[in-house]
Structure 1
Amino acid sequence: MNRFSINGLFAVTEWITRLAYVNLLWIGFSLLGLGIFGFFPATISMFTVIRKWLIGETDIPVFQTYWTTYKKEFVKSNGLGLIVLAVAGLIVLDLVFMKNNGTSFTSIIHILLYLFIFTCVMTLFYLFPVYVHYNVKFFAIFKNSFLIMLINPLANLVMISGIVAVYFVVKTFPGIGFFFGGSITSMIIMAACYVSFNRVDQKKQTSESI
């Protein structure tokens, strides 16, 4: 085995360890907040760490960064979570409505509701990345997530494909979900969003320079 193979194997092993570690932190800190209050600050903390890795800050103290973010964003992230849960509840009501109303009269309404649900879900995928990447006001997080989602269909496709792939892998090998389910999903979403953010920032700079 040559030096390049050894370096490549070491890099892969290092990333596997990182992803497993941050996934366990995510589970642990979600439980620390009794699940419902811990999930959103734990998820924001995980996206914060993964974003730093993606921009090249791979030597950060992971636990310290995670814990600091968790404490700092606990209240604000749970405020975000309340709105997310409200939207999720609305989606569930829409699905129940469509299940119980299958007549041709409501077929157009069904199409509109499916579009609404798809738009909401895709916007939710962008919420955490926008939260950790941009320093914007609370409600601007939702507006920016929606607008960036609209203009980046390729990133949307990458996220959907990646999440579906993770779902089938975890379904086939359930043990993988415990160590990597959340972190790999977050990595896929954050990576796709980061590319989208760079494109948006470049377009903004170009328009400002004209």
Structure 2
Amino acid sequence: MYTNGFMGFFYKFSDWFVKLAYINILWILFSLFGLIVIGFFPATFAMFSVIRRVLNKEDLSIFKAFLKSYTGDFLKSNLIGWFIILVFSILYFDLTIIEATENDFFQFFQYPLLIIGFLFFATVLYVIPTYIHYDLKLFELFKNSFVIMIVNPLNTITMISTIFVIYFVSYMIPGIIPFFSGSLLTLFLMMAALRSFQKIEDSKDRLETKA
């Protein structure tokens, strides 16, 4: 049905429009269900998981898939999420202390900490997609996310740029926040991450072929 031309484009656009709005609403509701504190990370992981499956053109019930991921990854997603918050909090605390002191020796560490913070932020962009795509332990998850981020600079820049663009659009048109703020961002981040994964897997296949 409607696979070519303008009608095909309109059908696909409408289909994604409805799915993204539905997933975003589920993300908000399930975050609230966990009182944000323990619900935000499971809901976010579930949103990434569902959108990945939609991108892979799987035939699924979005609600059932969302609920399964939410409950199945509830503990792990909170562990990963709060670990990320802890690291950012430590970096922020250290930078605050450095900015408050006039000691030149401590001031020297400000820029290295900013670089570390930026690299960790860029790594975090790959953490959830990597967790969903691969079966890894916590240390391996962050290590592999860091490596993937380093070897795919263009996709990483695309991810960061997407965050700023969607933030700007949401700021200018706040009415889209309940319907697309999270799901649209997740869509573009997941697409970029999948391109990175495919690039790495293709490289591995070429090396195995040569061997």
> 2:202 matched to 1:207?
no
Q: Which region of structure 1 is more displaced relative to structure 2, 86-95 or 10-19?
A: 86-95
Aligned pairs for 1:86-101 within 5 A: 86-101=86-101
Partner of 1:174: 174
Amino acid corresponding to residue 5 of structure 1 in structure 2 = F
Alignment-derived partner of residue 26 in structure 1? 27
Q: How does 1:1-210 map to 2 (within 5 A)?
A: 4-57=5-58, 59-101=59-101, 106=106, 108-209=108-209, 210=211
Paired with 2:102 and 2:54, the residues of 1 have a C-alpha distance of 47
Cα deviation code 1:150-192 (max 9, x no counterpart):
1111011100111110011001111111211111111111111
Could you list the runs of 5+ residues in structure 2 that have no partner in the other structure?
none
TM-superposed CA distance for 1:42, in Å, is 0.6
Paired residue total: 207
Deviation at 1:32, TM superposition (A): 1.0
Backbone CA RMSD of aligned residues: 1.7
| 1:108-143, Cα deviation, whole Å (9 max, x unpaired) | 422211101101101111110001011222321111
Could you list the runs of 5+ residues in structure 1 that have no partner in the other structure? none
- Percent of residue pairs bearing the same amino acid type: 38
* Paired AA for residue 85 in structure 2: L
**Structure 1 outlier segments of 4+, above 3 Å:** 101-108
**Alpha-carbon distance in 2 for matches of 1:108, 1:98:** 9
- Structure-1 separation of matches of 2:150 and 2:135: 20
TM-score, L = length of structure 2: 0.92
**1:15, distance to aligned residue in structure 2 (A):** 0.7
Residue 24 of structure 2 contacts residue 182 of structure 2 at CA under 8 Å; is this kept in 1?
yes
